[in-house]
Amino acid sequence: MNQIALPLGWPAEERGEFLVGESNARAVRMLEHWATWPVRTAVLAGPPKSGRSLLGRIFAARSGGSVIDDADHAAEDALFHAWNRAQEESRPLLLIAAATMPDWQVSLPDLRSRLAASPTATIGPPEETLIAALFEHGFARRHLDARADLITWLTARTERSHTAVIDTIDRLDRAALAGRRRLTIPLARETLDPEQAARNRSDLSS
C-alpha cells in the first residue's frame, strides 16, 4: 500500500498521509501530472471522508497551485472567473466536489463548458486492501493496538465506504477507552453488533 504525504515544511496541523489504492490511484496520477493537463484546471470528486481535501492540500503544496474545496457549493460566477484566471496565470487550479458533471449540476453555460474541457478524476469506494490499510493507519494514529486478526475481521464486515471505516474506528476507540479494554474481536463484536453478541452469550449459557 503506497502513501503520499505533505512536505515536512508544511504546518503541523495540515500534515497528513494519503493512502493510495486502486480506488484512488487514477486521481493521484492526475494530480501528479498536472503539468500535462490540457487546461490549467482539473476537477477531483469523491465521497465524504475519502481524503479528497487532504489530497488537494498535498497537490497545492507540491504544485504551487490553488484549490477550491466544496466547489459544488461555491458561487458559479466565482468559479468561472477562477477557471479563467488559472489559464491567464498558467497556475494550476483544482476544484474539489462531491461529484463530477452531470451529477454536479452546473447552471452557468460558460462554466459548464469549461468544466467539460477540464480533466476529471473520481475517488471511488475503497477496495478491501485499502479498507484494511485505512483501519491499520487509523488505529495507529490514535495509538491503539489493533492486531492483524482484528483488522481482518473488521475488513470483512465493514461497509465499503470511507465514512463507515472512520465511524467504526471512532466507536471502537470510545468502547476501549470506556471499558479500559484492549482492542479485540470480542470487544468489536460487542460494540458493533451488541444484539448478536447478547444472543451468543445466551446460547452459551443455555
Tens digit of each residue's pLDDT (9 = 90 or more) over 96-155:
999 999 999 999 999 999 999 999 999 999 999 999 999 999 999 999 999 999 999 999
Residues 10 and 85 in one domain: yes
Look at residue 41 and give its three-state secondary structure.
strand
Domain count within the chain: 2
Of the CA atoms within 13 Å of residue 3, those in its CB half-sphere come to 15
Beta strands in the chain (DSSP E): 2-5, 17-20, 41-45, 66-68, 93-97, 120-122
Residues 82 and 18 in one domain: yes
Residues 32 and 46 in one domain: yes
Domain's final residue, options 75, 98, 122: 122
Beta strands in 54-159 (DSSP E): 66-68, 93-97, 120-122
Q: What is the pLDDT of residue 196?
A: 55
- The CATH number given to whatever domain includes residue 180 is 1.10.8
Q: Cα torsion for 129, 191, 140, 127, to the nearest 10°?
A: 10
